[in-house]
Amino acid sequence: MNLRPFNNLSAVHIAVMAVLMLAVPAHASGDHDHQDVHSEHHANEQTQNTLGHDEHKNEHSDSHSENHSDEQAHNDHRDDEHGHDEHGHDEHEEGQVHISAEQVTLSGIVSQTAQSGDIKQTLTLYGRTVVPETAISQVRARFSGLITEFNFAVGDNVKAGQVIAKVESNASLKHYSITAPISGVVVTRNANVGELATDNVLLSIMDDSELWVEYQIFPGQLTSVSVGQHLVIGSDTASANKQQVNSTIKHLLNSTNNQAYTLARAPLDNKQGQWAVGALLSGELTLSQQPVAMVIDNRAVQVMEGQQVVFVRNEEGFEKRVVELGQSDSQLTEVLFGISIGEEYAVEKSFLLKADLEKSSAAHVH
């Protein structure tokens, strides 16, 4: 080994080199310490992260629990609301219509009592009212002359024996009176004071207090119709104020105008003036009848949800009853089940009770 280079170094240089050589392990040791500090710092960070994560989990869990509680409370509230909707009409019992007696009267609802009755087989006829031949009078002057007095106009009521007019005779120049031959209403007037009365009709009087109803009986119906049969005369069935009266067939007459029908005549009392001359009326003949235990008026039956029902009177108003029905005719229906003898049920305007119940049911659903 050549030591010549080291001979030129001073003791100072050698000392410095020695220090440097000793400093290398110390630096390595420092690096190691730095790694330890870094590792410790990283561990602390992980610990802090872990703690933070746990804290976040706890916060999330608490928040979730709180939200879940709020949601449960909301659901409970919804359930309460739903329960309220379901039972919002607790006062409206099933099938019960609450209505006071005053409201029943104001609504025009009329009731009847369930009772026994007869189911009839009937034949319906159609005809018109006519004035009896003896109830029309056309008044003329007995002698030609000048009319000096005329006391009645069209529409006036006149009594038999009253003076209608006075005429001065052309032959004797004397005055004579013309009197009403029947009581009734003046329906035509054809002369005035100062005119000449000849053989012309001065006025006509009609008594419509008694009428005939003439029904047309066709060949297929003739075997079911006979003199003396009872029938019910009624106004047009489409009328809201239908009237009905009892009568009897008095005559069967062949048509005088070569028509293929027979005329059945029945008397009709018209003292109250409720029947118009020429009015179209029905006539219901009873061909047979069968007694049954209980009947109700056909107008009482309503249909709800495919079931036949009637409304029975009770303390609260009316109760819907499902009924089982038997045979029926044009007016009455036999009841087999659902109502008892003596119970009161709605007849006229019973559809109002149906409408009220349907309205309440619709409100209950929504």
Contact 284, 319 (CB under 8 A): no
pLDDT in tens, 291-315: 999 999 999 999 999 999 999 999 9
What pLDDT is attached to residue 35? 41
User: For the segment 18-70, what is each residue's pLDDT rounded down to a tens digit?
Assistant: 444 544 443 434 444 434 434 444 434 443 444 344 444 444 444 444 444 44
Nearest to 103, CA basis, from 297, 309, 346: 346
Could you read off the pLDDT of 192-247 as tens digits, one per residue? 999 999 999 999 999 999 999 999 999 999 999 999 999 999 986 555 567 899 99
- Amino acid 362: pLDDT: 65
| Contact between residue 347 and residue 354 where contact means Cβ atoms under 8 Å apart | no
Pseudo-torsion of CA 217, 222, 228, 233, nearest 10°?
-30
Question: With left for phi above 0 and alpha for psi between -120 and 50, is residue 290 left, alpha or beta?
Answer: beta
What whole-number distance in Å separates Cα of residue 329 and Cα of residue 297? 10
Average pLDDT, the chain: 80
Number of other CB atoms surrounding residue 156 within 10 Å: 15
Question: Which positions ≥6 away from 98 have C-beta within 8 Å?
Answer: 91, 92, 316, 317
Q: From residue 218, give the alpha-carbon distance in Å to each of 79, 231, 283, 317, 342.
A: 71, 17, 14, 49, 42
- At the second CATH level, the architecture of 135-206 is Beta Barrel (2.40)
**pLDDT the model gives residue 81:** 41
Distance of CA 340 to the CA centre of its chain: 26
Spatial distance between the Cα atoms of 280 and 135, rounded to a whole number of angstroms: 20
Query: What is the reported pLDDT for 242?
Result: 74
Tokens of 65: 């629990």
pLDDT tens for each residue of 246-266: 999 999 999 888 888 999 999
Type of residue numbered 246: N
Strand partners, 107: none
Region of 297 please: left (phi>0), alpha (psi -120 to 50) or beta: beta
Cα 277 to Cα 207: distance, rounded to the nearest angstrom: 11
Which structure tokens are listed for 131? 């004035």
Is the model's pTM score more than 0.75? no
Q: Which fold has domain 96-129+210-365?
A: Elongation Factor Tu (Ef-tu); domain 3 (2.40.30)
